[in-house]
Structure 1
Amino acid sequence: MSVSLSDILDCFEGVIPSVIATSDGDGRPNISYLSQVFHVDDAHVALSNQFFSKTAANVTRSGRATLLAVDGRSGDQYLLDLVFVRSERTGTLFRRMAAHLDAISSQHGMESVMALRSADIFRVEQCRPVPSPGPAPPPRDDRSAPEQLTFGAALAAELAFESDPDRMLDIVLDRLTTLPGFTNLMILVPDGSAARLTTLASRGYGNTGVGSEIAFNEGVIGIAAATGVAVRISDMSRGHRMFQAARATSGLVAERHIPVPGLADPQSQLGVPMLSRGRLAGVLFAESPHRFAFTREDERMLVMVGAQLAGHLGAAEQEGGDISAPASGIEARRSPISATGSFHVRYFAFDDSLFIDDAYVIKGVPGRLLFHLLSIHAEQGRIDFTNRELRLDPRLRLPDFKDNLETRLILLRRRLDEREAPVRLARPERGRIRLELRGTPCLSVISDLSGL
C-alpha cells in the first residue's frame, strides 16, 4: 500500500531522527541517522548532508537509498524508496534547512559541527507503512489553512486602520494570544549595528523583558533574524538530548543586563523575521511547553502578519518626523514637577547605558536619547520635543538612513513604564514627545570604565 507524503507530514518535523540505508559497490549495507528530512512536495524530500560520509559516497555511486521515517506524534513508521535527483547549496530550500539546523545547534555551542553542506533532493518512488500492532494515533489538532488565512486577513485589516505603531504591537500580540498554543510571545527589533535584537514587547511571561538583548545567530530568534527565514522547531527536547554535554554557560551576569523572557523548558518554538522591502524590521517569536504546538499553517500565517507589521512600522518611521514646527514653537516652558525631591541619573558615554538612582534602565540609542532629553530639560526647562528635531540633532548620532527613531522611542517608553521610573515619555500628539517628571533629575556623565 502506497502512502502520500502529505499524509505523513509529522514524520518531517525532526522529532524522531530518520534512518537512511545505502549500500556500496560490493553490496555491503551502511545505516546512518539523519538530522533532518524536509518535505519538498508530494514526490520529493530533501535530506541534510552535513558530513563527507559513507552514506554520501554510496548515494553518489548508486543514486538510491531507503529511508525509515517515524511519525513524532504516533510512532508510526514508513519506508521510503528514494532516487537521488540533485544537491543544492543555495536557494530557498537550502536556506530553510540551514536555518533550522543552525537554530538547534546554536543553543548548544555546536554551530560548526552541524553546518549544512548541501540539501540533497530525492524523488520518492514509493512510500509504504511498516505494519504496527500499536493503538491508533491521537487525532491531529492542526489549524487548517482557511482558518489561519481568515485570522491573518482579519489582523491585517485591523492593522491597516491603526496609525500608532505602539498600538500596533499590542494589537498583534493580543490577537495572537487568542489562538491555541500562542501563549508566550515576543517582538524583538534589531539595533543599529545589526548585531543584536532587543525585546520590544512580550506576552505570557512574568518578566516582560523589555530592553533585553539576543545576538544575531543565537537560537531560533537570532537565526530567523540573521537568515531572514522562518524557523519552526516542534520538539526542542531532541536538541537538548543531542547537545546537552557541549552546552556552554557563563556564570557572569553583567550589571547592564535585562533577563530575556523565556520558558524554562520549551518544547516548541517559532521565529519569524518581520521583513519589508528586503529589510529586517524585527522578529515575531512564539514558544510553548508542548510539542507540536505550531503547525505549518501557523508558520505561514505568522509570516504574513510579520510582513504586515514590518510594513506598517516602516511607514510609521517615515511619517513620525513630518511635523515641522520649530522647537521654539513647542511651549518651551518649565515642566510642572509633580513631586518634590530629586533623582540621580548616571549616563555612561562609552556604551550609552543609563542608570536612575543606581538601577540600570537602558543602553544604546535609547539611553542616549533619554539623557539628551534630560540634558536639554536641565538647560532650558523644556519638556516638549519633536521627532523631527531629534532626527536633525547631530549630538544624537542617529544614522542618516533608517534611524528607527519611532521604534527606539517605543522601547524607551515601555522600559521606563516597566521600571516605574520617575521620568516617563508621553506622546501628546503624533510626532511629539513630552517628558513627565516626578522630581528634579540630577545628571552626571561617566566617560570611561574608570568611573565605575
Structure 2
Amino acid sequence: MSLRLSDLSACFEGVIPSIIATAAADGMPNISYLSHVVRVDEEHVALSNQFFAKTAANVRANPHVTLILVDCFTGDQFLLDIGFVRSVDVGPLFDKISLQLKASSAQVGMSEIMRLRSADIFRVRRIEKVPSPVEIAHAPTGDPISLPALSDAIRAIERQGEAGEIIDTLLSGVQHVLGYRNALVLIHDSHRGTLITTGSIGYERSGLGSEVVRGEGLIGAAAKSGQTIKVSDMSRVRRFGEAIGMETEENTTRAVAFPQLPTVMSQIAVPMVARGTVTGVLFIESPERLAFREEDEAALEILAGQAANALRASEREAAAAEPGQGSPVPEPAASGRDVRVVHHRIDDSVFVDGTYIVKGVAGTLLRLMLEWHLSDGRNEFTNREMRLAVGARMPEIKDNLETRLLLLRRRLEEKQAPIRIIRIGRGRVRLEAEGPLIFDAARESAVDDRR
C-alpha cells in the first residue's frame, strides 16, 4: 500500500530533526538538518529556511532533492523524493512555521537567532519507508476522541449564561473529553495589553490573576497571532518565557505567580476567537511527550471557539438586561473587626488587610463599589453603573466586565478575604464585609511609580 503524507503525522512534530540532501550542479552532495518540516497537504511539504545558503543554492541548481523524516514515536525513517515549487516569506503558512520556530527556539534562548527567512514549498513525488535491521517500537495509540462526548461538551458550554460557568464548563470539557488534567483560561485585557488567568484546573497554585504579556511566550504569541501553537517535547529545554521566575511575593510585586507543572513535557496554547477577535487563550500542559495529536488540537480549537462565542453572547445579554442603578437601601451596620482596604491608582491594585488581591480593571471595580458603599450606604450594585463609571477611561470595558468581576470574586475567595462579591442576579452584585470598611486611596510613592 502506497504511503501518504497524512500517514506520517508523527514525523512533523519537530522532535527529531529532519535531513535534507541536495547536490550542486557539479554533483557535490550536501546534507543539512532542518528544524521544521510542515505538511501542507497530501502532495506538498514546507521546509523552514533559516541559515542554509548552500542548501538553497543547490536546490535552485539541481532539482533532485531527498528528505529524510523520522517518526518520533517509533523511529521509523522515510525517504521522500521532493521537488522545489516556490518560497514564501509572507502569509498564513509562513506565519505558522515562524511562530512554531520562535516557540521552540525561545526555550533555549535562541529566539533572536533562529529567525525564519522563508518557507520553501516542495512537491512530494514519492515516499519510501527505510527498512530497519531491528524491530521497531509500536507507536502509542491514545483513545480516540468521542464525538458524542465532544458534542455534549459543546452544548454544555452553550447552555451556560454566566462567565464563570462558561469558563468552568470549558475546563471540564478539556478534562473529561480529552483527559488533560492541567489547564488554564486566560482572558485578554486590551487596556493593559496582557492576558489574565481567570480559570484554572490541576495546579497546586491556581495562578488566578497571573498575567502574560500579549505577544510574549507561547500564550502571548497565540493571542497575538490567533493561531494554535504547541511544543511537543520539553525534555531538553527550559520552560518558556511566561513561566520563568515562578516564585514571587505578591504583596511586594503586585504580581501573581504563573502556575507550574514541574513535570511538563508538552504545552499547547489555543486562541479563543469570537468573530475574528481573540478574547483569550486556552492553555494546556501535559507530563507526556507529544501529548497533543492533530485530532486533539482540532477538538481543543472547537471547544475554545465555542467558549469565546458563549462569553461574548453572555456579556452582551448581561449588558442588555442590566438594571440602571443599584438600590439605595442602606446596609445594616457591620459588626466585627475593621477591614482596611488600600487602593493604588497608579495600577489600580487593591490590598485588603495588607494582602494583595488584584489590579487593573478588577481593582477599579472594587474601588468603585467601596466608594459608593461608603458614600451612599448601600451594598448592592449593578454592572451597568460600573460599566458607565469606568467606560470613559477604559473603553473596552463594555465587552468584558463580566470576566473582570469574575476574576475579582475568585481572587477574594481564594485569599479568604474578609470581603466578598456575591452575584445576586443578572447584572447585579452585592458587597459583603466581615466588619466596618476603612478605605484608603493611597498616595503613590516613588516606589509605586517604578512598578
One fold, TM greater than 0.5?
Answer: yes
Aligned to 2:214: 216
Aligned to 2:329: 332
- The one-letter code sitting in structure 2 at the alignment partner of 1:26 is D
Judged with a 3 Å threshold, the aligned counterparts in structure 2 of structure 1 residues 340 and 193 are, in CA distance, closer, same or farther, namely: same
Q: 2:442 aligns with which of 439, 446, 450?
A: 446
Q: CA deviation at 1:251?
A: 9.4
Aligned to 1:372: 368
Q: 2:433 aligns with which of 434, 437, 440?
A: 437
Give me the whole-angstrom Cα distance separating, in 2, the residues matched to 1:120 and 1:238. 28
| 2:400 paired with 1:407 | no
Aligned to 1:308: 306
Judged with a 3 Å threshold, the aligned counterparts in structure 2 of structure 1 residues 306 and 335 are, in CA distance, closer, same or farther, namely: farther
Aligned to 1:359: 355
Q: For 1:311-354, what per-residue CA distance to the aligned partner results, in whole angstroms no more than 9, with x for missing partners?
A: 110111112222453426x25312563x5011221111111111
Give me the whole-angstrom Cα distance separating, in 1, the residues matched to 2:424 and 2:148. 35
Structure-1-length-normalised TM-score: 0.92
Query: Runs of 4+ in structure 1 displaced over 6 angstroms?
Result: 247-253
- The one-letter code sitting in structure 2 at the alignment partner of 1:191 is D
- The one-letter code sitting in structure 2 at the alignment partner of 1:407 is T
Structure-2-length-normalised TM-score: 0.92
RMSD: 2.5
- The one-letter code sitting in structure 2 at the alignment partner of 1:170 is D
Equivalences for residues 120-269 of structure 1 within 5 A: 120-144=120-144, 147-193=145-191, 195-240=193-238, 255-269=253-267
- SS of equivalent to 2:319: coil
- The one-letter code sitting in structure 2 at the alignment partner of 1:428 is I
- The one-letter code sitting in structure 2 at the alignment partner of 1:369 is L
Judged with a 3 Å threshold, the aligned counterparts in structure 2 of structure 1 residues 162 and 401 are, in CA distance, closer, same or farther, namely: closer
- The one-letter code sitting in structure 2 at the alignment partner of 1:20 is I
Give me the whole-angstrom Cα distance separating, in 1, the residues matched to 2:257 and 2:22. 48
User: Is contact 1:106-1:217 (8 Å) kept?
Assistant: no
User: Is contact 1:10-1:72 (8 Å) kept?
Assistant: yes
What runs of 5+ residues in structure 2 fail to find an aligned partner? Answer: none
User: Is contact 1:190-1:197 (8 Å) kept?
Assistant: yes
Aligned to 2:102: 102
| 2:92 paired with 1:76 | no
Q: CA deviation at 1:381?
A: 1.5
Aligned to 1:4: 4
Judged with a 3 Å threshold, the aligned counterparts in structure 2 of structure 1 residues 223 and 158 are, in CA distance, closer, same or farther, namely: same
Give me the whole-angstrom Cα distance separating, in 2, the residues matched to 1:335 and 1:295. 57
Equivalences for residues 315-326 of structure 1 within 5 A: 315-323=313-321, 325-326=323-324
Q: CA deviation at 1:413?
A: 0.8
User: Structure 1 residues 222-231 or 50-59, which shifts more?
Assistant: 50-59
Give me the whole-angstrom Cα distance separating, in 1, the residues matched to 2:391 and 2:316. 21
Give me the whole-angstrom Cα distance separating, in 2, the residues matched to 1:106 and 1:70. 23
Q: CA deviation at 1:451?
A: 7.0
Q: 1:428 aligns with which of 406, 424, 432?
A: 424
User: Structure 1 residues 375-384 or 84-93, which shifts more?
Assistant: 84-93
Q: For 1:97-128, what per-residue CA distance to the aligned partner results, in whole angstroms no more than 9, with x for missing partners?
A: 12211222334443222222222111111111
Equivalences for residues 109-124 of structure 1 within 5 A: 109-124=109-124
Aligned to 2:337: 341
Q: CA deviation at 1:392?
A: 1.2
- The one-letter code sitting in structure 2 at the alignment partner of 1:262 is Q
Give me the whole-angstrom Cα distance separating, in 1, the residues matched to 2:309 and 2:163. 11
Aligned to 2:385: 389
Judged with a 3 Å threshold, the aligned counterparts in structure 2 of structure 1 residues 76 and 154 are, in CA distance, closer, same or farther, namely: same
Identity %: 43
User: Structure 1 residues 395-404 or 196-205, which shifts more?
Assistant: 395-404
Aligned to 1:419: 415
Q: CA deviation at 1:402?
A: 4.3
- SS of equivalent to 1:305: helix
